[in-house]
Amino acid sequence: MKQYDLAIVGAGILGTFAAYHAVQRGWSVLLLESGMEAKGASVRNFGQLVPSGMGLNGWRNIGARTIHHLTEINKSTPLPWKKNGSLYVASDEQELQLLEEMQQLNDAQGYASRLLSVNECCELSQPLNKAYAKGGLFFPDDATTESPKLLATLLQFIIQSGRCDYRNGSLVQTVEENDSGCSLRTTDNTIYRARDVLVCCGHQLNRLFPAILQTPAMRICKLQMMDTLASSQVKLHCNLLTGLSIRRYDAFHSCASYANLITSEYQQQLQAEGIHLLFTQRADGSLIIGDSHHYTNALDVDSLDYHNDQHINQLILTEAQRILGVDTLPINRFWNGYYSQHDNSILATSIQKNIHAVTGIGGKGMTCSGGFTELVIEQLTKQQSLDLINIV
């Protein structure tokens, strides 16, 4: 029976990027996915690649590495992403102050960004409500992708290397380590063997090693999203992030005035549902709009809410229309997404000497998986525990 260097459980963005880095090192890789294709968070998101919003000293660099890897792959295989930047629009003076402070921090670190007037914001986002916008901060190095297309293209690129076998419809039921390596068994009783195993199971924490993955430090987040019909009336030249995103994203916690933010009753009403407004435009002109955040402890997974709540949709839609300054948006679909989020910003752990897991990356997986799994494969190359990886 073939023994792979690495078997990866789960072909979401973490598992797929881990396969990419392993293949780059010349390893033989087996990638096992329970679905006929990945259907989890990795294909339900905005596709915003936004190192700009990440914690300044750690995750921002990891996000930048993801964009570096996409740039490298693009040299031989065109991937569906573009470096079109992100615009953060302030809705009041306090948020504007945060943007100005962020610009100073970026200048000090040599990180590219520039403050924009309201008129300049309106050129990047057409339309944008001038009564909403007080000014903006533009990050030219951020990027946008269409996640399902990116995942599929990246997977094909890896398979074409000839060093990765991909098996979909393969739900891994057990993973065991013994003297001669690791063995994995799927629900149809197929056995695979590998030197190392990496479990990248997303929010499916109760399938493998629940005692380690499904802990009080892990939460599962439900997010509500929507998209519009394809439209030629809206032209977004970049990712659009708005006032409540400035108040939410880790990067802005480093700003001096962050601790003194005052929140209006309306903002509190949205924040109570974890709502902040992000917009991305697909190639066909349709907009992806969201989102809300509701958390369940991973131990309490049975209480996870699978409903799509119209009250939440209405709050998001009303705020979206206010930001763009339009009376209606032609909504096409509503959906929920779910991700796991660890209290330490990610769970990367070696369960046994050769069995490892990475999950709980939260809302930054599209931005940071390419950079983070590079570190994971480096650790495995050195035969060191994943528990030693420490990102602040």
Ligand X SMILES: Cc1cc2nc3c(=O)[nH]c(=O)nc-3n(C[C@H](O)[C@H](O)[C@H](O)COP(=O)(O)OP(=O)(O)OC[C@H]3O[C@@H](n4cnc5c(N)ncnc54)[C@H](O)[C@@H]3O)c2cc1C
Quick one: which of 223, 275, 347, 376 contacts ligand X (CB under 6 A)?
A: 223
The answer to whether residue 312 forms part of the interface with ligand X (CB under 6 A) is: no
Contacts of 268 (CB under 8 A, 6+ apart): none
Minimum distance from CB of 185 to ligand X (Å)? 11
CB of 363 to ligand X, least distance (A): 5
Q: Does 175 bind ligand X (CB under 6 A)?
A: no
Give the per-residue contact string, 36-75, with ligand X (x = CB under 6 A; - = no): --x-xxx-xxxxx---------------------------
Reading the block at residue 374, the tokens are: 């590079």
Nearer to ligand X, 59 or 132 (CB): 59
Judged by CB, which is closer to ligand X: 14, or 96?
Answer: 14
**Sequence-ordered alpha helix ranges (H) in 183-325:** 210-213, 243-248, 265-271, 310-324
Residue 171's φ and ψ, nearest 5 degrees, are -85, 115
32 binding ligand X? (CB under 6 A): yes
Report residue 304 CA to chain centroid gap: 20
Site for ligand X in 322-341 (CB under 6 A): 337, 339
Measured distance CA(131)–CA(125) in Å, rounded:
14
Query: Considering the rule CB under 6 A, would residue 171 count as an interface residue with ligand X?
Result: yes
The window from 11-19, 95-103, 298-306, 325-333 that contacts ligand X (CB under 6 A) reads 11-19
> Cβ(227)–Cβ(146) under 8 Å?
no
C-alpha separations of 161 from 23, 69, 77, 194 in Å: 8, 16, 12, 19
Closer CB to ligand X, residue 64 or residue 122?
64
CB of 202 to ligand X, least distance (A): 2
Taking the CA atoms of 189, 192, 196 and 197 in sequence, report the sign of the dihedral they define.
Answer: negative
Binding status of residue 291 toward ligand X by CB under 6 A: yes
Kind and range of the H or E element at 22?
A: helix 13-24
Residues that bind ligand X (CB under 6 A): 9-15, 32-35, 38, 40-42, 44-48, 171-172, 200-204, 207-208, 223, 225, 290-291, 337, 339, 359, 361-367
